[in-house]
């Protein structure tokens, strides 16, 4: 049976890197992002890279209906779901005393509500994949942030939602790892992607974690047996104390 994966935020950065690696391994893929035109282009690239099939699920995950619709798109096309990659994220900086509360809902919707919704909607397919492959099980990988573990001035709201995501993953393992479905939150410091452009004046991109480093970790996690549970991986930048983004 063809292995399948659903990747959110799949048209750039870490999400694109993961989707490309899975395509090279022959996975069937459902890819999500907001821009339908960009998704079309990436889908062609993934098919050329070796994906057995690529399904597009356009949608803005700040929309409460979008996350469920993305999962439905996958389950209508594929029988099971071997890997759910929760990569899409949103963040904006601001100190607590001045943080615009209008940004709070969007941050919560994308970084916490959407992952929870997708976990709920995808669980039957994840359990089915685990049942058909009891040795390997099914995997969930959620891209969190080192700020979810260690406080970073100016990133209180972003860090709080990423801390909640880590907690969600750990509780998910307590509830579902016995069914062969395991989850890992990867919590990196700054990765060299478009999302980190705003901090280039302080942290040069050549000192940031490479996208390929995160892709390698995801690849490793997906190859683990169902007996191994890795709740979180923290990835620091060289030359730092590893407690800072």
Establish if 150 belongs to a structural domain: yes
- 12: domain CATH number is 3.40.50.720
Q: Phi and psi (nearest 5°) for 210?
A: -80, 145
Establish if 175 belongs to a structural domain: yes
The residue range of the domain holding 172 is 4-235
Active site residue 158: yes
Establish if 81 belongs to a structural domain: yes
The pLDDT, as a whole number, for residue 185 is 98
Establish if 73 belongs to a structural domain: yes
Establish if 212 belongs to a structural domain: yes
Please write the tens of the pLDDT for every residue from 28-41: 999 999 999 999 99
Say if residue 199's pLDDT is above 80. Answer: no
Q: Give me the chain's average pLDDT, please.
A: 94
The pLDDT, as a whole number, for residue 216 is 98
Catalytic residue among 99, 150, 158, 243: 158
What is the reported pTM?
0.96
Burial group, residue 102, by CB count within 10 angstroms (0-12, 13-18, 19+)? exposed
Say what percent of the chain tops pLDDT 70: 99
Q: Can you tell me the distance from the alpha carbon of 16 to that of 201, in angstroms, rounded to the nearest whole number?
A: 25
Establish if 243 belongs to a structural domain: no
Please write the tens of the pLDDT for every residue from 90-138: 988 889 999 988 899 999 999 999 999 999 999 999 999 999 999 999 9
Look at the chain and report how many structural domains it folds into: 1
Establish if 54 belongs to a structural domain: yes
Establish if 9 belongs to a structural domain: yes
């Amino acid at each position: 049976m063809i292995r399948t994966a659903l990747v959110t935020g799949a048209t750039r950065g870490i999400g694109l890197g993961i989707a490309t690696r899975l395509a090279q391994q022959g996975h069937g893929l459902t890819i999500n992002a907001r821009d339908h035109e960009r998704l079309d282009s990436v889908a062609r690239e993934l098919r050329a890279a070796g994906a057995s099939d690529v399904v597009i699920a356009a949608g803005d995950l700040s929309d409460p209906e979008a996350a469920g619709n993305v999962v439905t798109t996958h389950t209508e096309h594929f029988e099971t779901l071997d890997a759910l990659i929760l990569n899409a994220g949103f963040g904006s900086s601001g100190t607590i005393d001045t943080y615009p509360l209008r940004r709070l809902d969007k941050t919560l919707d994308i970084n916490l509500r959407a992952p929870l919704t997708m976990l709920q909607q995808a669980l039957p397919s994840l359990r089915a994949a685990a049942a058909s492959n009891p040795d390997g099980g099914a995997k969930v990988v959620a891209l969190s942030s080192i700020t979810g573990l260690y406080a970073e001035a100016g990133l209180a709201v972003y860090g709080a939602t990423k801390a909640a995501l880590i907690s969600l993953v750990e509780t998910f393992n307590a509830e579902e790892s016995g069914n062969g479905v395991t989850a890992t939150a990867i919590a990196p410091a700054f990765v060299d992607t478009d999302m980190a452009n705003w901090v280039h004046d302080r942290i040069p991109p050549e000192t940031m974690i490479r996208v390929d480093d995160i892709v390698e970790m995801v690849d490793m996690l997906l190859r683990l047996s169902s007996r191994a549970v890795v709740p979180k991986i923290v990835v620091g930048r060289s030359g730092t104390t590893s407690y800072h983004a």
